[in-house]
Amino acid sequence: MAGRAITAAAAALGGTLCHESAAMTLPLIPAIAWLRTRRPSDTIRAAIPAAAAGIAWGVGYAIARGHGVTLPPSTGKPYPIALVPGLISRAPARR
């Protein structure tokens, strides 16, 4: 991060837009700033862009949910691992 809280927040937002589990990185930005300097002012300066990225993601997520975007429902069954060898045997050989 090296003092680049805005760049780190933008990267975290990009990661979150790709896969929402990347939202775990947003609280790490001010935490890293605190660990680097131990100054509250630097921590707050890092927390503001991280919070803005989190809010932007949350608003976008709410809009998407409002338009009916959802994840596919769970089947309730575990992944059929026994089918993997058959899938691999049908995959085209790479040269």
pLDDT in tens, 49-82: 999 999 999 999 999 999 998 877 778 888 888 8
Q: Where are the domains of the chain?
A: 5-66
Instruction: Provide the token pair at 58.
Output: 């949350």
Q: Comparing C-alpha atoms, which of 32, 11, 40 is closest to residue 23? A: 11
Q: State the Cα–Cα distance between residues 53 and 14, nearest whole angstrom.
A: 9
Which DSSP string do the residues of 13-80 spell out, in sequence order?
HHHHHH-GGGGGGTTHHHHHHHHHH--HHHHHHHHHHHHHHHHHHHHHHHHHHHTT--PPPP-SS---
Tell me the per-residue pLDDT of 6-39, one tens digit each, with 9 for 90 and over.
Answer: 999 999 999 999 988 899 999 999 999 999 999 9
Mean pLDDT for 81-89 is: 86
Whole-number pLDDT of residue 38: 94
